[in-house]
Amino acid sequence: MRLLEDVHAVDKRATRILTLAMDASHTRIPLGRLDVVQRATALGQIDAAWVKGWETPEDWLYPQMQEVLTTWTRLNGPQHLVYRIVGEPWAPRSHALRELLARNGVPFEFVAADTATGQELIRQHSVDVGRLPALIHHDGTVLHDPTGDEVAGSHGIATRPSRTDYDLVVVGAGPAGLAAAVFAASEGLRTLVLESHAIGGQAGTSSMIRNYLGFVRGISGGELAHRAWEQALLLGAEFAFAHPASGVSRHERGVDLHLEGGLTVSSRAAILATGVSYRSLGLAALDRLAGVGVFYGAAGVEAAALTSLPVAVVGGANSAGQTALHLAKYASQVNLLIRGTSLASGMSQYLIDQIKATGNISVRLGTRLVDAEGVVRLEGVVIEETSSRERTRLPLSGLFVMIGAEPHTAWMTGLQRDERGFILTDRDVVRNSATTDRPPLPFETSLPGVFAVGDVRRGSVKRVAGAVGEGSVAVGSVHEYLSLDGR
C-alpha cells in the first residue's frame, strides 16, 4: 500500500490498482479485505482494487482494465482538439473560458500568448492581441474574448428555444433537471431544458462520484452528466444554453419563463431544478485537495475510513455539530473550527451538550482556516486565532467544510421560499388566495403547475441520487397536473 501511495509522489497521473488474491469463496468482490480497500480508497491511496485469479479474464478483468484505461486516456492522453485558446494564463477571462469549455466537455488546448507556439498562432490566425483571450476553432475561425452565447453558437449548441410553447420547461441541467428531461421526453412531453452555464451542475464539478447506484468504482460527474444529456437528446428533449431564466409567471393556459436577453417561452408546466452553490473557503490549497481528504458536506461513508486519525469540521451550524459527533465515533480527534465566539449562536443546545460530553471533540472558537498542506492527500491545515492572529498547524487526515449552501432562487420572486431562499413545495406551501383551491401535488410550489426538485427545494437531501429521484418522480406530478381539468 505504501508503494502505491508513493507512486503519486513520482507521477500524479498514475492510476494505482491494488490487486488482491481471490479468497477461498471465489467472490469477485474482495469480501475478506473490504476494510483495507475502503480505507485506502477514502484516503486516496488507491484508485481501484481488483481480485486476481479469474480463469476467464475476458469476463471480469479486461472490462475493468478497459474502464481504467479509458478514464486515464480522457484525463491524460492526446485528444481530438476542437479549440485552441490563446491568452494570458492568469487572466480571469482566460480562466472563465477554460472553465466553460472544460465543464461542458469540449476538448481544447490552452496556449499562453507569450510562448513561441502562442506567437505562431497569433500570427497565423491574425489574432488581435488587444482582445485576448482568442478562441481558435479547428476550422480556423477566431472569436475574440467571446461570450458564452458566442462559444455555444460556434460549437453548434442551441442557445435559443426552437419554438415558443412547450408542454414542459425544465430550468437547470444538473442531475435533477436531466432526470426530469429524460423522463418527460420519454413519456411524450414536448420538453425544453434551459441551462445557464454547464451540463451537470454541481455534479459536473465532481471528479468522482462514488455513491451513485451501479458505478462500483465511481463515475466522474462530467461523464454521468454527458451520458444523461445524450440520453435526453435522443429521447427528444431540447436544450437551450447560455440564457439564464430570470422570471417565472403564470397565465391562464400555463406558465411563462422569461430569459435573460428578452426571450419568453410558454409552457403548460415547469420544473425548477436550479440547484445551489456550496460555499467554499476560497483557499486554492483546499480546492486542490478536494476529494483526497477535503470534503464538502456531511461525513457519511468517509467517517469509518478515518478511524483513529485526526480530522476537523469547519462550521458552526447544526449540520457541522452532527458531523463532528458522527466522526467522533471513529476519529482519534475531531477539531470543530468555528469563526464565531460562541457555539450557541448557530447550534441547538442538545448538540452542544453532546459535543461537550464527547471526550475527543475539541471546539476551537474564534479560529479561521488559512492554509492546507499535503501533496498527494491532505496532511494538515494551518489555523489562525482571529483575536491574537496566532497561527497553529494541525495535522489532519480529513477536513469537512460545512459552511452552508446558497440556492439559485433570487429571481423567483413570485414563489414561496424559506428564510434561506430554498423553494417550498407540497406540504410546506402555505395556502392562500394566490395558490390553488386544491392541495399542492408532490413537488408542486406555491405557483400552480410549477414544480421544484433537487438541491433547490427545501428538505432535499443534497445528493446526486436524491436529485435524480426527485427529477424523475416530479414528472408524474406534471402528468397529474396536466390531466386536471383537461389542461
Q: How far is the CB of 463 from ligand FAD (least distance, A)?
A: 3
Q: How far is the CB of 243 from ligand FAD (least distance, A)?
A: 8
Name the residue nearer to ligand FAD (CB basis): 394 or 464.
464
Name the residue nearer to ligand FAD (CB basis): 220 or 333.
220
Residue 72 makes contact with ligand FAD by CB under 6 A: no
- What span, in angstroms and rounded, lies between the C-alpha atoms of 312 and 327? 9
From the list 87-95, 116-124, 301-309, 461-469, the region that binds ligand FAD by CB under 6 A is: 461-469
**SS3 (DSSP) at 477:** helix
Binding-residue pattern over the window 223 to 262 for ligand FAD, x denoting contact by CB under 6 A: ---------------------xx-----------------
Q: How far is the CB of 61 from ligand FAD (least distance, A)?
A: 26
Confirm if 272 and 411 have CB atoms less than 8 A apart.
Answer: no
465 Cβ contact partners less than 8 Å away, ≥ 6 residues apart: 211, 212, 213
- What span, in angstroms and rounded, lies between the C-alpha atoms of 329 and 300? 12
From the list 141-149, 200-208, 328-336, 367-375, the region that binds ligand FAD by CB under 6 A is: 200-208
Which of 47, 145, 195, 444 binds ligand FAD (CB under 6 A)? It is 195
Amino acid at 398: G
Name the residue nearer to ligand FAD (CB basis): 176 or 334.
176
Residue 184 makes contact with ligand FAD by CB under 6 A: no
- What span, in angstroms and rounded, lies between the C-alpha atoms of 100 and 107? 11
Q: How far is the CB of 178 from ligand FAD (least distance, A)?
A: 7
**SS3 (DSSP) at 373:** strand
CA distances from 34 to 225, 308, 427 (A): 29, 17, 42
Amino acid at 25: S
From the list 23-31, 65-73, 274-282, 392-400, the region that binds ligand FAD by CB under 6 A is: 274-282
Q: Which of residues 204-223 bind ligand FAD (CB under 6 A)?
A: 205-206, 209-211
Q: How many residues bind ligand FAD (CB under 6 A)?
A: 36
Amino acid at 416: Q
Amino acid at 485: D
Residue 303 makes contact with ligand FAD by CB under 6 A: no
Q: Which residue do the cell numbers 442538545 mark?
A: 350
Binding-residue pattern over the window 389 to 408 for ligand FAD, x denoting contact by CB under 6 A: -------------------x
- Indicate the DSSP class of residue 372: E
Residue 194 makes contact with ligand FAD by CB under 6 A: yes
Which of 273, 303, 337, 475 binds ligand FAD (CB under 6 A)? It is 273
Amino acid at 451: F
- Indicate the DSSP class of residue 311: E
- 3-state SS of the chain: helix, strand, coil percent to 5? 30, 25, 45
Q: Which of residues 12-51 bind ligand FAD (CB under 6 A)?
A: none
Which of 168, 169, 173, 369 binds ligand FAD (CB under 6 A)? It is 173
Cell numbers placing 48: 481501484
Name the residue nearer to ligand FAD (CB basis): 45 or 206.
206
Residue 60 makes contact with ligand FAD by CB under 6 A: no
Q: How far is the CB of 75 from ligand FAD (least distance, A)?
A: 17
Q: How far is the CB of 407 from ligand FAD (least distance, A)?
A: 9
Confirm if 331 and 398 have CB atoms less than 8 A apart.
Answer: yes
Confirm if 39 and 305 have CB atoms less than 8 A apart.
Answer: yes
Amino acid at 58: E
Q: Which residue do the cell numbers 443534497 mark?
A: 462
Which of 30, 177, 310, 374 binds ligand FAD (CB under 6 A)? It is 177
- What span, in angstroms and rounded, lies between the C-alpha atoms of 430 and 410? 20
Which of 41, 71, 94, 202 binds ligand FAD (CB under 6 A)? It is 202
From the list 19-27, 44-52, 171-179, 419-427, the region that binds ligand FAD by CB under 6 A is: 171-179
Which of 8, 268, 377, 463 binds ligand FAD (CB under 6 A)? It is 463
Backbone angles phi and psi of 64, in degrees to 5: -65, -40
Residue 275 makes contact with ligand FAD by CB under 6 A: yes
**SS3 (DSSP) at 58:** coil
Determine the distance from the C-alpha atom of residue 307 to the mean position of all C-alpha atoms in its chain, rounded to a whole number.
27
Q: How far is the CB of 405 from ligand FAD (least distance, A)?
A: 9
Q: 18 forms bridges with which residues in the sheet?
A: 49
Among 349, 296, 344, 342, residue whose Cα is nearest residue 323: 296
Q: How far is the CB of 15 from ligand FAD (least distance, A)?
A: 19
Q: How far is the CB of 402 from ligand FAD (least distance, A)?
A: 13
Listing DSSP states for 222-285 in one string gives: HHHHHHHHHHHHHTT-EEEES--EEEEEEETTEEEEEETTS-EEEEEEEEE---EEE-----HH
Name the residue nearer to ligand FAD (CB basis): 111 or 209.
209
The contact set with ligand FAD (CB under 6 A) reads 171-177, 194-197, 201-203, 205-206, 209-211, 244-245, 273-276, 278, 296, 408, 454-456, 462-465, 467
